[in-house]
Structure 1
Amino acid sequence: MLLTLSLVATTLAVPATQAATMSAPPLSELATLLLGTVRGKPTGMHGVTRLTTGDADRQLRLACQELMRAGPVDLDDTTRFDGCVARPGKIVDFHLKVSGIDASRDDTRDFMATAKPILERGICRNPDVPVLGKLGIRLRYHYAAGQKPLVLLDIPPEQCRGK
Protein backbone atom coordinates (compact mmCIF):
# COMPACT_ATOMS: atom_id res chain seq x y z
CA MET A 1 0.00 0.00 0.00
CA LEU A 2 2.69 2.50 0.92
CA LEU A 3 4.77 1.71 -2.14
CA THR A 4 1.85 2.67 -4.36
CA LEU A 5 1.44 5.99 -2.58
CA SER A 6 5.18 6.60 -2.92
CA LEU A 7 4.73 6.01 -6.64
CA VAL A 8 1.97 8.62 -6.67
CA ALA A 9 4.25 11.14 -5.02
CA THR A 10 7.18 10.51 -7.34
CA THR A 11 5.01 10.38 -10.46
CA LEU A 12 3.10 13.56 -9.63
CA ALA A 13 5.84 15.34 -7.71
CA VAL A 14 5.72 19.03 -6.91
CA PRO A 15 8.06 20.96 -4.64
CA ALA A 16 7.16 20.34 -1.00
CA THR A 17 8.77 20.74 2.39
CA GLN A 18 8.29 17.89 4.78
CA ALA A 19 7.89 18.80 8.44
CA ALA A 20 10.07 16.94 10.90
CA THR A 21 8.14 14.31 12.77
CA MET A 22 9.00 12.34 15.82
CA SER A 23 9.36 8.61 15.88
CA ALA A 24 6.71 6.71 17.78
CA PRO A 25 7.42 5.82 21.42
CA PRO A 26 6.60 2.33 22.68
CA LEU A 27 2.88 1.71 22.26
CA SER A 28 0.34 -0.62 23.83
CA GLU A 29 -0.37 -3.83 21.95
CA LEU A 30 -3.71 -2.55 20.60
CA ALA A 31 -2.22 0.76 19.44
CA THR A 32 0.61 -1.21 17.79
CA LEU A 33 -1.97 -3.44 16.09
CA LEU A 34 -3.85 -0.43 14.68
CA LEU A 35 -0.62 1.20 13.50
CA GLY A 36 0.33 -2.13 11.87
CA THR A 37 -2.80 -1.99 9.71
CA VAL A 38 -1.62 1.39 8.43
CA ARG A 39 1.97 0.27 7.90
CA GLY A 40 0.82 -2.89 6.15
CA LYS A 41 2.67 -5.07 8.63
CA PRO A 42 1.02 -7.83 10.65
CA THR A 43 1.54 -7.77 14.41
CA GLY A 44 0.46 -11.30 15.22
CA MET A 45 -2.81 -9.95 16.61
CA HIS A 46 -1.25 -8.90 19.90
CA GLY A 47 -3.75 -6.65 21.63
CA VAL A 48 -6.84 -8.19 20.04
CA THR A 49 -8.01 -9.56 23.38
CA ARG A 50 -8.74 -5.97 24.45
CA LEU A 51 -11.39 -5.98 21.72
CA THR A 52 -12.98 -9.27 22.75
CA THR A 53 -13.39 -8.54 26.45
CA GLY A 54 -15.27 -5.48 27.57
CA ASP A 55 -16.18 -2.39 25.59
CA ALA A 56 -14.47 -2.53 22.16
CA ASP A 57 -15.46 1.06 21.30
CA ARG A 58 -13.77 2.29 24.47
CA GLN A 59 -10.64 0.21 23.84
CA LEU A 60 -10.37 1.54 20.26
CA ARG A 61 -10.86 5.10 21.51
CA LEU A 62 -8.07 4.67 24.09
CA ALA A 63 -5.71 3.17 21.49
CA CYS A 64 -6.38 6.06 19.07
CA GLN A 65 -5.82 8.60 21.85
CA GLU A 66 -2.51 6.90 22.54
CA LEU A 67 -1.55 7.11 18.86
CA MET A 68 -2.52 10.79 18.75
CA ARG A 69 -0.28 11.50 21.77
CA ALA A 70 2.56 9.61 20.08
CA GLY A 71 2.55 12.28 17.40
CA PRO A 72 2.88 11.96 13.66
CA VAL A 73 4.74 8.89 12.37
CA ASP A 74 6.57 8.89 9.05
CA LEU A 75 5.61 5.73 7.18
CA ASP A 76 7.83 6.31 4.16
CA ASP A 77 9.41 9.23 2.31
CA THR A 78 6.06 10.70 1.30
CA THR A 79 3.42 9.35 3.70
CA ARG A 80 2.84 10.41 7.28
CA PHE A 81 0.37 8.88 9.75
CA ASP A 82 -1.19 11.75 11.70
CA GLY A 83 -3.30 9.60 14.02
CA CYS A 84 -6.72 8.04 14.29
CA VAL A 85 -10.13 8.62 15.76
CA ALA A 86 -12.38 5.83 17.01
CA ARG A 87 -16.08 6.36 16.38
CA PRO A 88 -19.06 4.56 17.93
CA GLY A 89 -19.92 1.31 16.19
CA LYS A 90 -16.29 0.09 16.13
CA ILE A 91 -15.16 2.46 13.37
CA VAL A 92 -11.54 3.62 13.21
CA ASP A 93 -10.69 6.61 11.01
CA PHE A 94 -6.97 6.81 10.18
CA HIS A 95 -5.58 10.15 8.96
CA LEU A 96 -2.64 10.10 6.57
CA LYS A 97 -0.84 12.93 4.76
CA VAL A 98 0.96 12.49 1.48
CA SER A 99 3.58 15.07 0.54
CA GLY A 100 4.99 16.02 -2.82
CA ILE A 101 1.81 15.83 -4.90
CA ASP A 102 -0.82 18.30 -5.99
CA ALA A 103 -4.29 17.00 -5.11
CA SER A 104 -5.97 19.55 -7.36
CA ARG A 105 -4.44 18.12 -10.55
CA ASP A 106 -6.71 15.96 -12.72
CA ASP A 107 -4.01 13.32 -13.24
CA THR A 108 -3.58 12.99 -9.47
CA ARG A 109 -7.30 12.41 -8.93
CA ASP A 110 -7.43 9.99 -11.89
CA PHE A 111 -4.47 8.03 -10.59
CA MET A 112 -5.92 7.80 -7.07
CA ALA A 113 -9.23 6.56 -8.47
CA THR A 114 -7.46 3.75 -10.35
CA ALA A 115 -5.14 2.96 -7.42
CA LYS A 116 -7.95 2.69 -4.84
CA PRO A 117 -8.83 -1.01 -5.48
CA ILE A 118 -5.13 -1.93 -5.43
CA LEU A 119 -4.64 -0.14 -2.12
CA GLU A 120 -7.73 -1.83 -0.65
CA ARG A 121 -6.44 -5.27 -1.68
CA GLY A 122 -3.11 -4.44 -0.07
CA ILE A 123 -4.84 -3.62 3.21
CA CYS A 124 -6.74 -6.91 3.09
CA ARG A 125 -3.48 -8.85 2.61
CA ASN A 126 -2.44 -7.97 6.14
CA PRO A 127 -3.67 -11.04 8.08
CA ASP A 128 -4.64 -8.83 11.04
CA VAL A 129 -7.28 -6.95 9.01
CA PRO A 130 -9.69 -9.88 8.33
CA VAL A 131 -9.52 -10.83 12.01
CA LEU A 132 -10.45 -7.27 12.98
CA GLY A 133 -13.30 -7.56 10.48
CA LYS A 134 -14.54 -10.71 12.20
CA LEU A 135 -14.70 -8.64 15.39
CA GLY A 136 -16.86 -6.07 13.57
CA ILE A 137 -14.18 -3.37 13.19
CA ARG A 138 -14.52 -0.99 10.23
CA LEU A 139 -11.24 0.64 9.11
CA ARG A 140 -11.28 3.91 7.16
CA TYR A 141 -8.06 5.37 5.73
CA HIS A 142 -8.29 9.09 4.89
CA TYR A 143 -5.43 10.19 2.63
CA ALA A 144 -4.88 13.90 2.05
CA ALA A 145 -2.32 16.15 0.39
CA GLY A 146 -2.17 19.28 2.51
CA GLN A 147 -5.79 20.13 3.33
CA LYS A 148 -7.18 18.47 0.18
CA PRO A 149 -8.55 14.93 0.39
CA LEU A 150 -6.97 12.42 -1.99
CA VAL A 151 -8.82 9.18 -1.34
CA LEU A 152 -10.87 7.40 1.31
CA LEU A 153 -10.29 3.68 1.66
CA ASP A 154 -13.26 2.25 3.53
CA ILE A 155 -12.78 -1.33 4.71
CA PRO A 156 -16.06 -2.61 6.20
CA PRO A 157 -15.88 -5.72 8.40
CA GLU A 158 -16.90 -8.12 5.64
CA GLN A 159 -14.62 -6.75 2.88
CA CYS A 160 -11.49 -8.79 3.56
CA ARG A 161 -13.10 -12.15 4.29
CA GLY A 162 -11.80 -14.89 2.05
CA LYS A 163 -9.18 -12.65 0.39
Structure 2
Amino acid sequence: MTDANSRSIVSNQPGLHEKLDEIVLKHLSAEFKKPIAEHTQSAFDQVNEKVQAFAGPIILDSCCGVGESTANLAKRHPDALVIGIDKSSHRLDKHDIEYKQTDAGQYILVQADLNDFWRLAVAANWQPSHHYLLYPNPWPKAKHLQRRWHGAAIFP
Protein backbone atom coordinates (compact mmCIF):
# COMPACT_ATOMS: atom_id res chain seq x y z
CA MET A 1 0.00 0.00 0.00
CA THR A 2 1.32 3.45 -0.86
CA ASP A 3 0.98 6.61 1.17
CA ALA A 4 -1.53 9.10 -0.20
CA ASN A 5 -0.40 12.66 -0.78
CA SER A 6 -3.83 14.23 -1.12
CA ARG A 7 -4.55 17.62 0.37
CA SER A 8 -6.48 17.73 3.62
CA ILE A 9 -10.08 18.80 3.25
CA VAL A 10 -11.00 21.84 5.32
CA SER A 11 -14.62 22.98 5.60
CA ASN A 12 -16.60 25.67 7.36
CA GLN A 13 -19.55 23.26 7.45
CA PRO A 14 -19.26 20.83 10.38
CA GLY A 15 -22.51 18.90 9.70
CA LEU A 16 -25.48 18.74 7.34
CA HIS A 17 -26.06 21.95 5.41
CA GLU A 18 -28.92 23.92 6.97
CA LYS A 19 -30.62 24.43 3.59
CA LEU A 20 -30.12 20.92 2.16
CA ASP A 21 -33.78 19.85 2.54
CA GLU A 22 -35.03 23.10 0.99
CA ILE A 23 -32.69 22.85 -1.99
CA VAL A 24 -33.36 19.15 -2.64
CA LEU A 25 -37.13 19.70 -2.51
CA LYS A 26 -36.79 22.58 -4.97
CA HIS A 27 -34.81 20.39 -7.37
CA LEU A 28 -37.32 17.54 -7.06
CA SER A 29 -40.15 19.84 -8.11
CA ALA A 30 -38.42 21.34 -11.16
CA GLU A 31 -37.21 19.87 -14.43
CA PHE A 32 -33.47 20.14 -15.14
CA LYS A 33 -33.38 21.74 -18.60
CA LYS A 34 -29.68 22.19 -19.38
CA PRO A 35 -28.99 21.02 -22.96
CA ILE A 36 -26.86 17.89 -23.39
CA ALA A 37 -23.30 18.77 -24.44
CA GLU A 38 -22.44 17.42 -27.89
CA HIS A 39 -19.17 15.81 -26.71
CA THR A 40 -21.00 13.96 -23.95
CA GLN A 41 -23.76 12.77 -26.31
CA SER A 42 -21.10 11.41 -28.66
CA ALA A 43 -19.19 9.70 -25.82
CA PHE A 44 -22.42 8.25 -24.40
CA ASP A 45 -23.48 6.87 -27.79
CA GLN A 46 -20.18 4.98 -28.10
CA VAL A 47 -20.39 3.58 -24.57
CA ASN A 48 -24.09 2.77 -24.91
CA GLU A 49 -23.35 0.49 -27.88
CA LYS A 50 -21.05 -1.55 -25.63
CA VAL A 51 -23.55 -1.52 -22.76
CA GLN A 52 -26.38 -2.73 -25.01
CA ALA A 53 -24.18 -5.55 -26.33
CA PHE A 54 -23.02 -6.58 -22.83
CA ALA A 55 -24.94 -9.35 -21.06
CA GLY A 56 -23.60 -8.87 -17.53
CA PRO A 57 -23.95 -6.28 -14.80
CA ILE A 58 -23.07 -2.63 -15.44
CA ILE A 59 -21.21 -0.61 -12.79
CA LEU A 60 -20.70 3.16 -12.87
CA ASP A 61 -17.62 4.79 -11.33
CA SER A 62 -18.45 8.50 -11.43
CA CYS A 63 -15.67 11.06 -10.93
CA CYS A 64 -13.10 8.31 -11.54
CA GLY A 65 -10.10 10.65 -11.92
CA VAL A 66 -7.19 8.71 -13.42
CA GLY A 67 -9.23 5.50 -13.52
CA GLU A 68 -7.44 3.65 -10.73
CA SER A 69 -10.72 3.02 -8.92
CA THR A 70 -12.33 1.86 -12.18
CA ALA A 71 -9.56 -0.68 -12.80
CA ASN A 72 -9.81 -1.92 -9.21
CA LEU A 73 -13.59 -2.20 -9.42
CA ALA A 74 -13.23 -4.23 -12.63
CA LYS A 75 -10.89 -6.63 -10.81
CA ARG A 76 -13.38 -6.88 -7.92
CA HIS A 77 -16.31 -7.47 -10.32
CA PRO A 78 -14.85 -9.51 -13.22
CA ASP A 79 -18.31 -10.41 -14.56
CA ALA A 80 -19.31 -6.74 -14.90
CA LEU A 81 -18.61 -3.93 -17.33
CA VAL A 82 -17.32 -1.01 -15.26
CA ILE A 83 -17.67 2.46 -16.76
CA GLY A 84 -15.39 5.12 -15.31
CA ILE A 85 -16.52 8.68 -16.06
CA ASP A 86 -14.61 11.88 -15.43
CA LYS A 87 -14.83 15.39 -16.86
CA SER A 88 -11.06 15.79 -17.08
CA SER A 89 -9.17 14.47 -20.09
CA HIS A 90 -5.97 15.48 -18.27
CA ARG A 91 -6.72 13.03 -15.44
CA LEU A 92 -7.97 10.27 -17.75
CA ASP A 93 -4.88 10.58 -19.96
CA LYS A 94 -2.76 9.53 -16.98
CA HIS A 95 -4.50 6.15 -16.90
CA ASP A 96 -2.48 4.56 -19.69
CA ILE A 97 0.74 5.47 -17.93
CA GLU A 98 -0.05 4.12 -14.47
CA TYR A 99 -3.02 1.75 -14.56
CA LYS A 100 -3.04 -0.27 -17.75
CA GLN A 101 -5.74 -2.89 -18.00
CA THR A 102 -3.74 -6.08 -17.66
CA ASP A 103 -5.64 -7.98 -14.97
CA ALA A 104 -9.07 -9.59 -14.96
CA GLY A 105 -12.03 -7.32 -15.46
CA GLN A 106 -13.58 -5.23 -18.18
CA TYR A 107 -13.84 -1.49 -18.06
CA ILE A 108 -14.22 1.63 -20.16
CA LEU A 109 -13.01 5.11 -19.31
CA VAL A 110 -14.94 8.02 -20.77
CA GLN A 111 -14.57 11.78 -20.64
CA ALA A 112 -18.00 13.32 -20.18
CA ASP A 113 -20.06 15.82 -18.24
CA LEU A 114 -21.71 13.70 -15.55
CA ASN A 115 -24.80 15.91 -15.41
CA ASP A 116 -25.43 14.97 -19.04
CA PHE A 117 -24.12 11.39 -18.93
CA TRP A 118 -26.39 10.42 -16.03
CA ARG A 119 -29.46 11.85 -17.79
CA LEU A 120 -28.61 9.92 -20.96
CA ALA A 121 -28.11 6.70 -18.97
CA VAL A 122 -31.53 7.15 -17.33
CA ALA A 123 -33.15 7.86 -20.73
CA ALA A 124 -31.51 4.69 -22.13
CA ASN A 125 -32.91 2.74 -19.14
CA TRP A 126 -29.53 1.58 -17.85
CA GLN A 127 -29.89 -0.43 -14.65
CA PRO A 128 -26.46 -0.40 -12.98
CA SER A 129 -25.90 -2.98 -10.26
CA HIS A 130 -23.60 -0.51 -8.46
CA HIS A 131 -22.82 3.19 -8.72
CA TYR A 132 -19.68 4.54 -7.05
CA LEU A 133 -18.98 8.18 -6.18
CA LEU A 134 -15.64 7.76 -4.43
CA TYR A 135 -14.27 11.25 -5.06
CA PRO A 136 -14.09 13.30 -1.85
CA ASN A 137 -16.07 16.51 -1.58
CA PRO A 138 -14.37 18.94 -3.99
CA TRP A 139 -16.46 21.89 -2.73
CA PRO A 140 -16.00 22.02 1.06
CA LYS A 141 -17.37 25.53 1.67
CA ALA A 142 -21.01 25.73 2.80
CA LYS A 143 -21.80 28.29 0.09
CA HIS A 144 -20.92 25.68 -2.57
CA LEU A 145 -23.67 23.21 -1.63
CA GLN A 146 -25.25 23.25 -5.10
CA ARG A 147 -21.91 22.32 -6.68
CA ARG A 148 -21.86 19.08 -4.68
CA TRP A 149 -23.66 16.04 -6.13
CA HIS A 150 -26.20 15.73 -3.31
CA GLY A 151 -27.14 19.41 -3.63
CA ALA A 152 -27.01 19.70 -7.42
CA ALA A 153 -30.06 20.09 -9.64
CA ILE A 154 -29.18 16.89 -11.54
CA PHE A 155 -29.11 14.58 -8.52
CA PRO A 156 -32.83 13.65 -8.44
TM-score range, shorter chain: under 0.3
Q: Which structure's residues are more often strand, by fraction?
A: 1
Which structure is higher in RCO with an 8 Å CA cutoff and minimum separation 6?
Answer: 2
Q: Which has the larger radius of gyration?
A: 2
Using the size of structure 2 for normalisation, the TM-score is 0.27
